[in-house]
Amino acid sequence: MHVFLLFAVPLAYAYLLTLRDDSGQPSNLTSIAFIRGVAGYLVLLVALLIMKRFIPRPYTGVGGYLYATFFDYLVPVSGSFGLYLLFTRDVRSMSTSDRELALVSFLAGAMSFAGLMDLVIRPGYMGTYELFLLPAVRVAAVMLIPGLYVLYCDETFWVRYLYLALILLGPALFGVVYALHVASIYAASIGVTAALFFGGWAVAVFATSRGGPARLR
């Protein structure tokens, strides 16, 4: 029951490395960045646990959507992205390929650890959302955010702000999956999850194809 929760992100990360043919890349862009992502999420987790002590969880309606958006996606995903930008030295001087790979590795580390921590600290019953939809959206985020980020960095025209808007609105879009699920609109929640997943894959492939040394297979 917990296999997908634990292994969805690590397996997706392994696939992305294969897609990019990055087996010979420096460890600071792969394994070290992955470990830094784990450490970054640990910091965010402490903040999440403190906030959850003071903010009761509504499970339905607008309140439930906002709660899930904030605690499941905004802080974990956008927070990890912010930590990457804040603590990655010379990020602006990196090549497109290196910038994307380092961010993919960082987010993969953070989201992999998030899945493990769900098993350890998430209270109560874990249903379809927690075991399947949430991990799938995390996989989508690991593919989508780095791709949009490098596209934003490489563009010089107004379209770059479209990529930035998608990054900023990502958590709100991810939260729709939870809202549809708790509203018992299961087909739609699965459909949105699939759209995010394949959209993330398409963005990752497109961004990688523009990444110079990394090549598509």
Q: Rounded CA gap, 106 and 207, in Å?
A: 17
Which tens digits make up the pLDDT trace of 102-160? 999 999 999 999 999 998 887 667 899 999 999 999 999 999 999 999 899 887 788 88
Residues 6+ apart with CB under 8 A from 79: 40, 44, 47
pLDDT of amino acid 21: 64
Question: Looking at 28-32, 127-131, 206-210, which range is the least confident one?
Answer: 206-210
The secondary structure of residue 56, as a DSSP letter, is: P
Q: Rounded CA gap, 119 and 122, in Å?
A: 6
Residue 216 has pLDDT above 50, yes or no: no
Q: Rounded CA gap, 110 and 112, in Å?
A: 6
What letter represents residue 109's amino acid?
G
Contact 192, 214 (CB under 8 A): no
Contact 29, 105 (CB under 8 A): yes
Which tens digits make up the pLDDT trace of 37-67? 999 999 999 999 999 999 999 989 999 999 9
Residues 6+ apart with CB under 8 A from 122: 130
Please indicate whether residue 209 or residue 195 has the higher confidence score (pLDDT).
Answer: 195
